[in-house]
Amino acid sequence: MTIVDLLEKNSRELADETALVEINPEMEESRRLTWRDYELVEPTSRSYYRTEISWAVFNEKANRFANALISLGIGKGDKVAILLMNCLEWLPIYFGVLKTGAMAVPLNFRYASDEIKYCTDLSESDMLVFGPEFIGRVEKIADEISKNRLLIYVGDGCPSFAESYYNLTADCSSLNPNIPLTEDDYAAIYFSSGTTGFPKAILHKHRSLIHSCIVEQKHHSQQHDDVFLCIPPLYHTGAKMHWFGSLISGSKAVLLKGTKPEFILDAVSKEKCTIVWLLVPWAQDILNALDSGKLKLEDYDLSHWRLMHIGAQPVPKSLIKHWLEYFPNHQYDTNYGLSESIGPGAVHLGVENVHKVGAIGIPGYGWQVKIVNENGEEVSGSDVGELCLKGDGVMECYYNDPEATAKALKDGWLYTGDMAMRDEDGFIFLVDRKKDVIITGGENLYPVQIEDFIRTFPKVSDVAVIGLPDDRLGEIAAAIIKIKDGMTSSEEEIMEFCKGMPRYKRPRKIIFADVPRNPTGKIEKPLLRKIYGADHLVANQNER
Q: Residue 203's domain is classified under what CATH number?
A: 3.40.50.12780
Give me the pLDDT at residue 206, please. Answer: 97
Q: What is the pLDDT of residue 192?
A: 82
Q: Per the structure, how many domains does the chain have?
A: 3
* 379 shares its domain with 468: no
Per-residue pLDDT band at 238 (split at 50, 70, 90): confident
Q: Is 159 domain-assigned? A: yes
Q: Is the pLDDT of residue 391 over 50?
A: yes
Model-level pTM? 0.83
Do 416 and 456 fall into the same domain? Answer: no
- Kindly tell me if the per-residue pLDDT of 492 is higher than 50: yes
Separation of alpha carbons 475 and 464, rounded Å: 16
- Note whether 201 and 343 are same-domain residues: no
Residue 311 pLDDT exceeds 70:
yes
Query: Strands, DSSP E only, in 25-118?
Result: 49-54, 79-83, 103-106
DSSP state, 377? P
Domain holding 462: CATH number?
Answer: 3.30.300.30
Same domain, 427 and 450: no
Whether 203 and 74 share a structural domain: yes
Of 510 and 419, the one with more pLDDT: 510
Domain match, 49 and 133 both: yes
CA dihedral 380→382→387→389, nearest 10 degrees, is 70
CA distances from 342 to 115, 167, 236, 346 (A): 22, 33, 10, 9
Q: How confident is the model at residue 478 (pLDDT cuts 50, 70, 90)?
A: very high
| Per-residue CA distances from 540 to 280, 361, 544 (Å) | 15, 13, 12
pLDDT at 491: 95
Domain membership flag for residue 278:
no
Do residues 34 and 180 share a domain? yes
Q: Which domain holds residue 181?
A: 9-258
Q: Kindly state whether residues 416 and 446 are assigned to the same domain.
A: no
CA angle 191–195–200, rounded 5-degree value: 25
For residue 27, is it within any domain? yes
- Tens digits of per-residue pLDDT, 134-170? 999 999 999 999 887 899 999 999 999 999 999 999 9
What is the pLDDT of the chain when averaged over all its residues? 89
- What does the alpha-carbon distance between residue 397 and residue 59 come to, in Å, rounded to a whole number? 30
- CATH assignment at residue 358: 2.30.38.10
What does the alpha-carbon distance between residue 371 and residue 417 come to, in Å, rounded to a whole number?
A: 11
Q: Which of 378, 402, 433 is the last residue of a domain?
A: 433
pLDDT confidence of residue 147: 82
Average pLDDT over residues 291-313: 92
Among 388, 411, 433, identify where a domain stops. 433
Of the candidate ranges 42-51, 97-106, 302-311, 319-328, the one whose mean pLDDT is the lowest: 42-51
Any domain includes 297: no
**336 and 246 within one domain:** no
Question: Is 268 a domain residue?
Answer: no
Please check whether residue 295 lies inside any domain of the structure: no
| pLDDT for position 146 | 85
Q: Is residue 280 part of a domain?
A: no
Sign of CA dihedral 447, 452, 458, 459: positive
- For residue 502, count other CB atoms closer than 10 A to its CB: 11
Phi, psi values for residue 275, rounded to 5°: -130, 130
Tell whether 75 and 219 lie within a shared domain: yes
Looking at the structure, tell me whether residues 205 and 316 fall in a common domain.
no
Whether residue 197 lies inside any domain: the answer is: yes
Q: What are phi and psi of 41, to 5 degrees?
A: -85, 140
The values of phi and psi at residue 469, to 5°, are: -65, 145
pLDDT tier at 51, thresholds 50, 70, 90: very high
What 3-state DSSP class applies to 129? strand
Q: Which of 394, 411, 433 is the last residue of a domain?
A: 433
Task: Evaluate whether 359 touches 427 at the Cβ level (below 8 Å).
Answer: yes
pLDDT digits 0-9 by tens, 400-455: 999 999 999 999 999 998 888 999 999 998 875 666 778 888 887 878 778 889 98
Tell whether 50 and 167 lie within a shared domain. yes
